[in-house]
Amino acid sequence: MSRRRRIYEGKAKVLFEGPEPGTLVQYFKDDASAFNNQKKGTITGKGVLNNRISEYLMTKLGEIGVPTHFVRRLNMREQLVREVEIIPLEVVIRNVVAGSLSKRFGMPEGTQLPRSIVEYYYKSDELNDPMVSEEHITAFGWATPQDIDEILAMSLRINDFLLGLFLGVGLRLVDFKLEFGRLYENEEMRLVLADEISPDNCRLWDTKTGEKLDKDRFRRDLGNVEEAYQEVARRLGILPEGGPRDMKGPATMQ
């Protein structure tokens, strides 16, 4: 962190100017927020874990041909990413009823959906991320019909892949949120997966016990939040060496 120029500060991450043009450094904070910033807190070590988890998942997705903004992890809390123009949409993919879907339709959490559902929300804190349809997205010029087709295809492919990956380590991928960006390269534009994939934006339930291992532990005051994030990293086989104690010291802040 530090000497680089700060480009943007979000709730859980900071973006700094990268070492080369067209790159950014994404710094993962321990800050947590929920309900559009009404609830705030700190989850010790979260930034370190999310940096690792997102690196792992983005790398795996890259290996199956999903284009992403991820370049490489730089240290405990930072990763180098390609600079993209973020499409102002939160793309939510759902496999099981939970959260706002459960509230909106009065369906019990945990109901398996007959097929995956993709929803779009307009990214706006002031408006509380309202849900939007393809009609809104194209009419307001946030993305073209062709962009939406591509985003939908990529989202379903990512979902298929992550469902299997998490199932293999005893986790049910209930739902998750993705963001996409436009990457400009040699006069061409392509859409790539951006932001992060971590327990901050996924719901992950233990397949056997149903235990929640994601940000709902923070949102709903269930306790053991750090432990849940650690458990996800542990199951993926990527808990940082030295374990949790390694995550607080100044050595991690370079």
46-63 and 145-167 helices, crossing angle to 10°: 110
Contacts of 94 (CB under 8 A, 6+ apart): 101, 113, 116, 117, 118, 119, 174, 175
Residue 141 to residue 71: CA distance in whole angstroms: 29
Region of 14-22, 73-81, 92-100, 245-253 interacting with ligand UDP (CB under 6 A) = 92-100
Of residues 28 through 87, those in contact with ligand UDP by CB under 6 A are none
Q: Does 120 bind ligand UDP (CB under 6 A)?
A: no
Tell me phi and psi for residue 124, to 5 degrees: -160, 110
Sign of CA dihedral 6, 151, 201, 99: positive
Indicate the residue among 18 and 178 with the shorter CB distance to ligand UDP. 178
Q: Does 99 bind ligand UDP (CB under 6 A)?
A: yes
- DSSP 3-state of 139: helix
Residues in the chain: 254
Q: Does 217 bind ligand UDP (CB under 6 A)?
A: no
Q: Which residue is nearest to ligand UDP (CB)?
A: 99
Residue tagged 């199956």 (tokens) = 64
Residue 204 to residue 17: CA distance in whole angstroms: 32
CB of 172 to ligand UDP, least distance (A): 12
Of residues 125 through 164, those in contact with ligand UDP by CB under 6 A are 129
Q: Which of 14, 48, 58, 101 binds ligand UDP (CB under 6 A)?
A: 101
Q: Does 202 bind ligand UDP (CB under 6 A)?
A: yes
CB of 153 to ligand UDP, least distance (A): 19
User: Rounded to an integer, what is the distance from CA 170 to the centroid of its chain?
Assistant: 20
CB of 253 to ligand UDP, least distance (A): 26
The burial of 164, by beta-carbon neighbours within 10 Å (0-12 exposed, 13-18 middle, 19 or more buried), is given as exposed
User: Binding marks (x or -) toward ligand UDP, 175..194, rule CB under 6 A?
Assistant: xxx-----------------
User: Binding marks (x or -) toward ligand UDP, 218..237, rule CB under 6 A?
Assistant: --------------------
Which chain residues interact with ligand UDP by CB under 6 A? 90, 92, 98-101, 129, 175-177, 201-203, 215
